[in-house]
Structure 1
């Protein structure tokens, strides 16, 4: 097989997996037009249309679906063979793409990145932080990070630290105007920032004490899904916020924010790094998993 044949097949494989020429081009590190040209050349050479293209979508023809089913295991074997060469190197070589929620990525991956790259200079780490729910297979990620272990079938989850929890904070100025709440029921008298999922659906503030769990649907004129914006609003004295304790900690320690209801705070689920069970676990991804396990703070 010619190198050009393999390149064209790889381009088709990427487009077919992502259902997108743009995402395929990002994965392959070339332009979308180059990917389109390679796929068109392949279709001309085999004399069969493999993809249905519109301005809005890409789908597989029956022939394309059959070809993909044969190609995917073959390219997986090629990737595994190349990755096996890492045993002859001092450190892993290659790219690892990780997806993580934007709201937790800084204090989960932030402490890990520097030591990981220093210890693995041939590793290329690509981290995409978004609170949008991502299908890591469709979008070409090697692994993802999320709270809890509720994952779709075909995924392996690895427990990592830290365990995260949310806390209620407000500015000293706010609490001079409003007495600090002593129980979740007191929140009804406070101006609160409503927390939103990226979908726009709000979620309650959750509390627990003495075996009693309470969810409070707080009220307030401001609704946000970005924790940094919540902290900025709390610093301005506009309202109190329900944010990640780790993100609020520097402001609490400096006195710019005050934490309250601390004896009611619920410990969150463990964080998990997850990846496709059938996907070959590359040396680079193993290095990432080991770094998260080693560098995670104890609970």
Structure 2
């Protein structure tokens, strides 16, 4: 946990965000009992209960919710001030907290590793989740998401170039089924459906010569993680719709075959994004410069 005198407030926000004392303690690097004691001391000093605790769940009280909403922006400003003071160091130091998706984190890992190699006094705290969150309220320095999902009030830094998706299936699947010639043909195929973080089912998107199509494919299996979809496609379960990078090796090895390639053009890829503030930390500035000036390829997303 940080030793800047803000331990109690950081503890409240961590527990509120993760809804678990144990998970928050792991993130902050303290024991669960120590974290519980820290929050209890603050509650005693304030004279109000911030969390309702049971053996199975943790939730903010009404007072706790208001308290967390009010201290989150203030803590962001304080962290910014601390980081700004650190800009006068010759070498960036401290912790960068980045929120992203699992696939984006996997793709950006070569960049993260090079960043840590260049700046040994820096630490990265990467939190992955499917749902897009408010990185300012949640206390993150930056996020990494697809360009089309970056909030408009954020500064975005493109990374890794454009992306495209591929419809793929195994040789065994195509031995039993004729390859689709148009997106509409997919309605006669067994497809591996993708569940979005929101809980909805992703509809496959296609575009060619000014014509856009969105297909609500059907299939016996619905998954919410790309590596599982890839495994199902390799096993001949059906067709799947994944990023080029995630299927590149399979296409090269011949374990998967691509179809409808002319219907899947590229589009803007990942961006690192951060709040529009006058001052950013030396560590974040160093990461931005690395993204802009290096030619480190992103791994398969």
| Aligned pairs for 1:146-225 within 5 A | 146-152=145-151, 155-225=154-224
| TM-score normalized with structure 2 length | 0.81
Say whether the 8 Å CA contact 1:162–1:297 is kept in structure 2: no
| TM-score normalized with structure 1 length | 0.81
Say whether the 8 Å CA contact 1:16–1:59 is kept in structure 2: no
Structure label with greater radius of gyration: 1
Alpha-carbon separation, structure 2, partners of 1:222 and 1:135:
32
| Aligned pairs for 1:130-145 within 5 A | 130-145=129-144
The structural deviation recorded for 1:258 is 0.8
The structural deviation recorded for 1:121 is 1.0
Question: Gaps spanning 5+ residues in structure 2: where?
Answer: none
More divergent stretch after superposition (137-146 vs 255-264): 137-146
Alpha-carbon separation, structure 2, partners of 1:167 and 1:92:
40
Q: Residue 179 of structure 2: SS of its match in structure 1?
A: coil
Distance 1:282 1:149, change over 3 A: farther
**Cα deviation code 1:171-200 (max 9, x no counterpart):** 112112112112112212211111210333
Distance 1:192 1:31, change over 3 A: same
The structural deviation recorded for 1:165 is 1.6
The structural deviation recorded for 1:268 is 3.1
Question: Gaps spanning 5+ residues in structure 1: where?
Answer: none
Alpha-carbon separation, structure 1, partners of 2:154 and 2:15:
18
Distance 1:39 1:67, change over 3 A: farther
What's the RMSD between the two structures over aligned residues?
3.2
Q: Which residue of 1 aligns with 2:8?
A: 11
Aligned residues: 287
Say whether the 8 Å CA contact 1:18–1:140 is kept in structure 2: no
| Aligned pairs for 1:37-116 within 5 A | 37-42=37-42, 48-49=46-47, 51-55=49-53, 56-59=58-61, 61=63, 65=67, 73=74, 76-77=77-78, 80-81=81-82, 83-89=84-90, 91-107=91-107, 109-116=108-115
Say whether the 8 Å CA contact 1:18–1:139 is kept in structure 2: no
Distance 1:276 1:27, change over 3 A: farther
Say whether the 8 Å CA contact 1:17–1:138 is kept in structure 2: no
